[in-house]
Structure 1
Amino acid sequence: MTALDPTTLMGPLWTLLAYILLGWLATRRLSVDPRPIATLLIYLVAPLTFFRGLVLGGPTPGYLLLTLAAFATASLLAVIVHRLTRRAFAPQESALLAFSAGTGNTGYFGLPVAMVLLPPQGVTLYLFCVLGITLYEFTVGFYLSARGQFSVGESLAKILRLPLVYAFLAALLFSGLGLAVPAAAMEGLAVFPATYTLLGMMIIGMTLGRVTIREIDPRFIGACVAVRCVAWPLLALAAVLGLQALAPLSQELALAILLLGVGPMAANVVVVAMELGIAPAKGALAVLATTLAAPLLIPLYLTLMMRLAGL
């Protein structure tokens, strides 16, 4: 595995910030409405991206166990944060904070770093963990977010309408039955991951283009940063140390787990907040803050965590 060089993060960072700037310009200069784009991401781009990733990854029981573990961990953390914050914050803010607690920018930001630090086998392990977190975002996370504004029945109905769950099941069906997706279809789907990244980051800038000074909430942003930059690194380190104590753990899997814990907040926090109408401006500010801090925090965190884990 390659040693971590802080400059490794500068390429992904500047790319993501450029996308955010494009989104800001689209709103400020072209008056682009980000809400239809959020809907497009949730109901079309994300499911097709997810389906393609699963089909190409060739899911095995071992890989799917990683996906299940990541999904369960993200869901549990989100539920805990929701219970701890629902009395201290307004319902919409508590719901958005709970959603953000279970996820991070493991794809747009974390994947380029993983591809530098990990061999191909390690990248595959990382991707199946990321799939679990993505599945959380559009099931348990979406439900918790919806509960900030809708009833239990309405929230469940919204989840049942989300195509990403069905994309996941369809990919497992194709794999289980040994069916091959036509090459022409896979070539067509190849454009969706880049589209997902571009629109997902641009929507942050579009939301920031509408932010006013009075919408800056240091208490909410501080809570989001604490969960993402304190709770997640500690949880990832504890998971690695716990697994090492139970059985031999490959360095690739250990580092993949640590990478899940050190990324900035997920852009999908803003996407889901925009779709449900729950404080998207506050979510965008928190995402921007953690993204700007990432080049400083990630090398520091990973170096310390790798030493503590004996990697």
Structure 2
Amino acid sequence: MELELGATLLAPLWMLLAFVGLGWLCARPLAIDPRPIATLLIYIIAPLTFFRGLTLGGPTPSHLLLTLGLFLVASLLAIAVSRLVRPFFPAEEAAVLAFSAGTGNTGYFGLPIAMVLLPPEGVTQYLFCLLGITLYEFTVGFYISARGQFSVRQSLVKITRLPLIHAFLAALLVSGLGVTMPAMLMDSLEVFPSTYTLLGMMIIGMTLGRVSIREIDARFVGACVAVRFGLWPLLALAAVLGLQALVALPDELAMVLLLLGVVPMAANVVVVAMELSIRPEKGAIAVLLTTLAAPLVIPLYLGGLTRLTGLQ
């Protein structure tokens, strides 16, 4: 299984690294500022991407339960890490680390793998789990990050201005009322998911293009890697084993949970850090290193975890 997964990862990995390289070229020779692009992602591209996905997916109560569950897990983990690391890191770095603890590259990197490994129902379940993590990023995660340098009131005001929440509620309303969106509108929104991936990964390269060797913080990067590739796989394993003991957990849902636990760090760590001006270069280094390690780590982790959970 490890060899098969390694081959599966090659195409998405090289694609993502090519996007990072494009971003680096934009930052170096062209001197393009990535901050307006981060703002565009947060306020325009991400909301439209998830509005389209939700209206096409037709959420059911069981799907929304997955979204709620992953939202709660991500939020609680970020809050716990935030309190744990405060004594050891400056406020801004602790905020970035706490934000990264609750999320992962479940979209840009994890979704292509899910589409190869899982049946259609499993992919749908993965998408609603992904939605829960994304909602965490732009609500609780954004608040925790903002609290690194803003007051409670300022942080909450920033959250209320995030249109992803409005897009989520609008999509639920459209689906609940049974409204059929015009085909022309849905066709025009097809470009946004690929744009979201492209710009999200390019921002990592743009940020790295401004980083010097002196800015590499091994302690901070090590903490990020430990949470992403140490804590999350253990949580995923515990969740699957616990659910298997309580209910008849479908194999595809078990694989969804395991995959969520082994993806690299989220590119949105850089996007949110850039929007809030809280050391995006440190987040970019950690995201790049975990992405480079993913082709080795993910096949090994998934192979071992599937054996432990009886999926093999």
TM-score where L is the length of structure 2 = 0.98
Counterpart in the other structure of 2:116:
116
Cα shift readout 1:16-75 (whole Å, capped 9, x = no counterpart):
000000000001011100000000000000000010111111100000000000000000
2:236–2:257 Cα contact (<8 Å) kept: yes
Q: Aligned equivalents of 2:23 and 2:220: distance in 1?
A: 23
2:3–2:299 Cα contact (<8 Å) kept: no
* Moved segments of 4+, more than 6 Å: none
Matched, 1:11 2:11: yes
Where do residues 213-252 of structure 1 align in structure 2 (5 Å cutoff)?
213-252=213-252
Counterpart in the other structure of 2:41:
41
Counterpart in the other structure of 2:288:
288
Q: Aligned equivalents of 1:83 and 1:56: distance in 2?
A: 38
2:2–2:303 Cα contact (<8 Å) kept: no
Counterpart in the other structure of 2:178:
178
Counterpart in the other structure of 2:93:
93
Code of the residue aligned with 1:244 in structure 2: it is Q
Q: Aligned equivalents of 2:273 and 2:14: distance in 1?
A: 24
Matched, 1:53 2:53: yes
1:2–1:117 Cα contact (<8 Å) kept: no
Where do residues 247-286 of structure 1 align in structure 2 (5 Å cutoff)?
247-286=247-286
Counterpart in the other structure of 1:21:
21
Q: Aligned equivalents of 1:88 and 1:3: distance in 2?
A: 39
2:2–2:300 Cα contact (<8 Å) kept: no
Code of the residue aligned with 1:10 in structure 2: it is L
Code of the residue aligned with 2:95 in structure 1: it is A
TM-score where L is the length of structure 1 = 0.99
Q: Which runs of 5+ in 2 are unaligned?
A: none
Counterpart in the other structure of 2:66:
66
1:2–1:116 Cα contact (<8 Å) kept: no
2:2–2:299 Cα contact (<8 Å) kept: no
Q: Aligned equivalents of 1:175 and 1:4: distance in 2?
A: 38
Q: Aligned equivalents of 2:231 and 2:13: distance in 1?
A: 22
What displacement does 1:239 show?
0.3
What displacement does 1:168 show?
0.2
| Secondary structure of 2:28's aligned partner | helix
| Secondary structure of 1:211's aligned partner | coil
1:4–1:303 Cα contact (<8 Å) kept: no
Q: Aligned equivalents of 1:300 and 1:183: distance in 2?
A: 43
Counterpart in the other structure of 2:131:
131
Identity, % of aligned pairs?
73
Matched, 1:147 2:129: no
Q: Aligned equivalents of 2:146 and 2:62: distance in 1?
A: 32
Query: CA distance change for structure 1 residues 254 and 218 in 2, over 3 Å: closer, same or farther?
Result: same
Q: Which runs of 5+ in 1 are unaligned?
A: none
What displacement does 1:180 show?
1.1
1:24–1:208 Cα contact (<8 Å) kept: yes
| Secondary structure of 1:5's aligned partner | helix
Cα shift readout 1:68-106 (whole Å, capped 9, x = no counterpart):
000000000000000000111000000000000000000
